Chains A and B, each alone.
Chain A
Amino acid sequence: AQSVTQLGSHVSVSEGALVLLRCNYSSSVPPYLFWYVQYPNQGLQLLLKYTTGATLVKGINGFEAEFKKSETSFHLTKPSAHMSDAAEYFCAVRGYNNNDMRFGAGTRLTVKP
């Protein structure tokens, strides 16, 4: 079975500062890993995903994440936060032979001016 843990339910950064949202996964099979963003009153939008190949994955809006198998991590980063990045971020995992996707509890990102 697969699961993810997101460390920190709430992260606050200043505009222009580094964003780091942490995600650790547990999987008995090679995982596919995803980051979704949820803006207020909207659905889940895919930021990026790791499937195979390059472990550093670049997504939309300047975000990227690195798959580290040795650390079972898939942390999301952005070099410089923008006010528009304020949202809820969800890490998710799915095994290659699984149908359902398992989500973390989410991290709410606040960006201060």
Chain B
Amino acid sequence: EPEVTQTPSHQVTQMGQEVILRCVPISNHLYFYWYRQILGQKVEFLVSFYNNEISEKSEIFDDQFSVERPDGSNFTLKIRSTKLEDSAMYFCASRLTSGGADTQYFGPGTRLTVL
């Protein structure tokens, strides 16, 4: 069964460094998402991406964050200058259509630790 994959599974970085989290969505999907989950808290929406541009973003997704689909398969989340509070699990998701009923498929997540 097709699945969303994410690399790395765990990323440790120093505060102020740039990190890039990578995702490979399901191949025929058109809508892509990033969510984050701070330890012990709820899963929060960051951004959605369609047709090579951001379609929606939350208040969390500030200028320090950017997303890109550099080729036909990868979808990346870049954090320009990491802060301690960026430590979280980051989930990528994808879905085929924009219909509200359509299922979003999630990757296994990348655990980001900022020291």
Contact = CB atoms under 8 A, between A and B. Distances in A.
Interface stretch (A12-20, A62-70, A77-85, A102-110): A102-110
A44 B43 contact: yes
B91 interface: yes
12 contacts: A32-B100, A32-B101, A34-B103, A36-B106, A42-B108, A43-B108, A46-B104, A49-B103, A95-B100, A96-B99, A99-B48, A102-B45
Interface string A26-67: 000000101010000111111001011000000000000000
B64 interface: no
A52 B101 contact: yes
Interface of B: 4, 6, 31, 33, 35, 41-45, 48, 55-56, 58, 91, 93, 98-101, 103-109
Contacts of B106: 36, 43-45
What's the interface size class on A, roughly?
Answer: 20 to 34
A99 B55 contact: yes
A43 B109 contact: yes
Interface of A: 32, 34, 36, 41-46, 49, 51-52, 90, 92, 94-106
Contacts of A95: 100
A92 to B, nearest CB: 8
Contact of B58 (A49, A92, A100): A100
Nearest to A52: B101
A98 B107 contact: no
Contacts of B55: 99
Contacts of A42: 108-109
The 8 closest A-B pairs by CB, nearest first: A51-B101, A96-B100, A44-B106, A103-B43, A43-B108, A100-B45, A105-B42, A43-B106
